[in-house]
Amino acid sequence: MPFKRYVEIGRVALVNYGKDYGRLVVIVDVIDQNRALVDAPDMVRTQMNFKRLSLTDIKIDIKRVPKKKTLIKAMQEADVQGKWEKSSWGRKLIVQKKRASLNDFDRFKLMLAKIKRGGIIRQELAKLKKEAASS
């Protein structure tokens, strides 16, 4: 089981601890064995310990410590945000956030929708069972 996601310049990572929890950042430089210089379009460039970062599959093509403008341009060309939102990891996070922000009324409507969906599935299943039994 070799490693597939490497720490390299341009690797997109997710911050998993601290003030910037949940933010997507790009590794723009490696400081030493434990820390990286990390940057994002809406954030001041800072150093972060690798333990605070979860590497993603996404990588962009940048030189070491690019200017903010170049970084933003490279991120848009690689469509980091789009790739993230299409990936299963990204989609999971979006769903989690949506579920946490549900209103009491929204939760009620969700319950009604689940019951309705279950009913339709059961109907189809009953139909299929009948066909299987009769044939």
Partner 1 sequence: MAPKNSKVTRNPNLIPGIGKYSRSQMYHKKGLWAIKAKNGGQFPHHEKKAKPETTSEKPPKFYPADDVKKPLVNKRKPKPTKLRTSITPGTVLIILTGRFKGKRVVFLKQLPSGLLLITGPFKINGVPLRRVNQSYVIATSTKVDISGVDVNKLDDKYFGKKAEKKKKKGEGEFFEAEKEDKNVLPQEKKDDQKLVDASLIQSIEAVPDLKAYLAARFSLKSGMKPHELVF
CA-based nearest residue to 28, from 15, 46, 3: 46
108 scored as a contact of partner 1 (CB under 8 A): yes
To partner 1, the closest distance from the beta carbon of 92 in angstroms equals 17
Candidate residues 3, 4, 105, 115; the one interacting with partner 1 per rule CB under 8 A: 105
Kindly provide the residue ranges of all beta strands, DSSP E only, lying in the chain, ordered along the sequence. Answer: 11-15, 24-30, 35-39, 46-49, 53-59
CA distance 60 to 9: 8
3 scored as a contact of partner 1 (CB under 8 A): no
100 scored as a contact of partner 1 (CB under 8 A): yes
109 scored as a contact of partner 1 (CB under 8 A): yes
Q: What are the residues binding partner 1 (CB under 8 A)?
A: 100-105, 108-109, 112
